[in-house]
């Protein structure tokens, strides 16, 4: 009972109110009191009796509409396919050549391509397609279904920011409505969306004529109305506010059209131009090069040079003293040094020429003694040239010339003598 059939003939039946061709429902099979007939009911609810033999014919099953290129299909048979094809796979139909195996499908998730017999596929539902999708960070989706513990609004646009890992395809995303990250979503709870839809659904900041604004286009993006003569970070004043754009006067271009999302309000203090970092330098300043980039051939990191022009061009300081006449450094590649730094660097370079560190003496070095207030056997002979003959004590010992008659010792701190000739350069050795 409950089966449906088509009335083929009224002969041998009791069918007042019925018409041949009617679709009827069998309510008793066979009728208890009349085993030669079915008791049937038509669409209007009228009851009748139809001959069991020949009175009804089966309803031909409706043949499903043939799949079309661009539609999605579910695999229900794997005949003729390799082991990579699984029952339940969802494929996008990309080719129909009307051949024996007419459909070529691209599997959702990994893009695997396979040919299928028509009998191996059925049209997939929207839910099956959604569940099969795999999204990646940066994709845009629209939330269409509740479920689980997700806290997104139905209809909300989301940009994927984090994947749960392999398996479920779950992900978190940035809400367009309030720029916050929600919790986990499943692919079956969303449909694909576009960046434009996400952007259009993002609340636009409110501006008023006269507001001071900074151009803050996202890194790597081009402004909606292109750059014109402006650049990111430029500060201007709102001239007009239109329903779909804000018109701004920038120093480099008046009446520049902006999408509201490309602008950020700034205070009067923030709007003040930042001082040029090169203004800390003056012509003749001594500076140390602390980092190297282009336009500095012939100049070495760590060495001291002289500023020849603080405002050489749009963002460089000209320096001299390298192996080429001028180098051009940005302000953050330089540090100012004191006169003491300059002297120390000069001394370091001087000692380096003889292969020594500053103040590194050797036995046999010839030095000039400098008189000082302490006790020293050479104090009566300021400027005398002597030889270092011992380095075994706390201070170097200076050889006492024969004409020096005092009994005081000549152990001398290096502050009180200076190198005249290193032992390696003496011709008497």
The string of DSSP letters for 341-372 reads HHHHHHHHHHHHTTT--TT---TT-EEEE---
Whether residue 382 contacts residue 370, with contact meaning beta carbons closer than 8 Å, is answered with yes
User: How many Cβ atoms from other residues are within 10 Å of residue 408's Cβ?
Assistant: 14
- Region 86-91 average pLDDT: 92
Q: What is the CATH number of the domain that holds 329?
A: 2.30.30.30
Q: Which residues contact 240 (CB under 8 A, 6 or more apart)?
A: 209, 246, 247
Alpha-carbon span 161 to 182, nearest angstrom: 10
Alpha-carbon span 368 to 264, nearest angstrom: 69
pLDDT, tens digit, 9 for 90 and up, residues 212-244: 999 999 888 899 999 999 999 999 999 999 878
Based on the domain organization, do 125 and 137 belong to the same domain?
A: no
User: How many Cβ atoms from other residues are within 10 Å of residue 198's Cβ?
Assistant: 20
Alpha-carbon span 253 to 250, nearest angstrom: 5
- Region 274-303 average pLDDT: 88
- Run of H or E residues at 269: helix 268-271
Based on the domain organization, do 150 and 171 belong to the same domain?
A: yes
Does residue 205 belong to any structural domain of this protein? no
Report the predicted TM-score, pTM, of the whole model to 2 decimal places: 0.37
List the 113-116 sheet strands across, edge first.
Answer: 113-116, 103-107, 90-96, 72-75, 121-123
Does residue 395 belong to any structural domain of this protein? yes
Alpha-carbon span 47 to 40, nearest angstrom: 6
Does residue 124 belong to any structural domain of this protein? yes
pLDDT of 178 reads 82
Residue 31 scores a pLDDT above 60: no
Q: What is the CATH number of the domain that holds 248?
A: 2.30.30
Does residue 354 belong to any structural domain of this protein? no
Does residue 421 belong to any structural domain of this protein? yes
The region, left, alpha or beta by phi > 0 then psi within -120 to 50, assigned to residue 100 is: alpha
Residue 401 domain boundaries: 366-425
Q: What is the CATH number of the domain that holds 195?
A: 2.30.30.40
Based on the domain organization, do 114 and 162 belong to the same domain?
A: no
pLDDT, tens digit, 9 for 90 and up, residues 119-128: 999 999 888 8
Using alpha carbons, list the distances in angstroms from residue 27 to 45, 339, 424. 11, 112, 124
Based on the domain organization, do 253 and 221 belong to the same domain?
A: yes
Does residue 356 belong to any structural domain of this protein? no
Alpha-carbon span 313 to 289, nearest angstrom: 18
Band (pLDDT 50/70/90 cuts) for residue 167 is low
Based on the domain organization, do 303 and 315 belong to the same domain?
A: yes
């Amino acid at each position: 009972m409950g089966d449906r059939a088509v009335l083929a003939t009224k002969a041998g039946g009791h069918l007042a109110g019925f018409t041949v061709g009617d679709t009827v429902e069998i309510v008793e099979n066979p009728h208890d009191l009349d085993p030669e007939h079915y008791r049937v009911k038509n669409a209007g609810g009228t009851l009748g009796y139809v001959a069991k033999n020949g009175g009804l014919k089966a309803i031909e099953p409706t043949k499903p509409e043939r799949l079309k290129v661009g539609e999605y299909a579910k695999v229900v048979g794997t005949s003729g396919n390799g082991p990579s094809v699984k029952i339940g796979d969802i494929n996008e139909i990309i080719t129909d050549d009307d051949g024996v195996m007419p459909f070529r499908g691209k599997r959702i998730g990994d893009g695997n391509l396979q040919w299928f017999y028509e009998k191996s596929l059925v049209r997939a539902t929207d839910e099956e397609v959604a569940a099969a999708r795999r999204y990646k960070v940066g994709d845009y989706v629209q939330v269409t279904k509740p479920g689980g513990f997700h806290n997104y609004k139905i209809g909300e646009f989301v940009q994927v920011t984090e994947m749960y890992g392999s398996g479920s395809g779950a992900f978190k995303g940035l809400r367009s409505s309030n720029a916050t990250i929600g919790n986990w979503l499943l692919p079956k709870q969303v449909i694909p969306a576009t960046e434009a839809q996400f952007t259009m659904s993002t609340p636009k900041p409110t501006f008023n004529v006269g507001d001071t604004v900074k151009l803050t286009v996202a890194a790597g993006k081009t402004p909606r109305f292109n750059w014109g003569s402006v650049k990111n970070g430029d500060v201007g004043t709102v001239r007009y506010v239109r329903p779909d754009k804000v018109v701004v006067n920038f120093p480099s271009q008046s009446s520049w059209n902006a999408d509201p999302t490309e602008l950020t309000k700034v205070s009067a203090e923030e709007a003040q131009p930042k001082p040029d970092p090169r203004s800390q330098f003056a012509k003749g300043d001594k500076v140390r090069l602390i980092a190297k980039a282009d336009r500095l051939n012939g100049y070495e990191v760590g060495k001291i040079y002289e500023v020849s022009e603080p405002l050489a061009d749009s963002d460089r300081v000209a320096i001299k003293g390298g192996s080429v006449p001028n180098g051009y450094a940005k302000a953050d590649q330089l540090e100012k040094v004191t006169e003491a730094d300059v002297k120390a660097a000069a001394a370091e370079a001087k000692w380096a020429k003889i292969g020594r560190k500053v103040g590194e003496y050797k036995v046999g070095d010839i030095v000039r003694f400098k008189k000082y207030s302490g006790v020293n056997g050479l104090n009566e002979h300021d400027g005398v040239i002597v030889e270092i003959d011992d380095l075994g004590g706390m201070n170097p010992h200076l050889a006492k010339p024969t004409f020096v008659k005092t009994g005081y010792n000549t152990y001398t701190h290096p502050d009180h003598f200076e190198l005249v000739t290193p032992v390696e350069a003496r011709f008497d050795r």
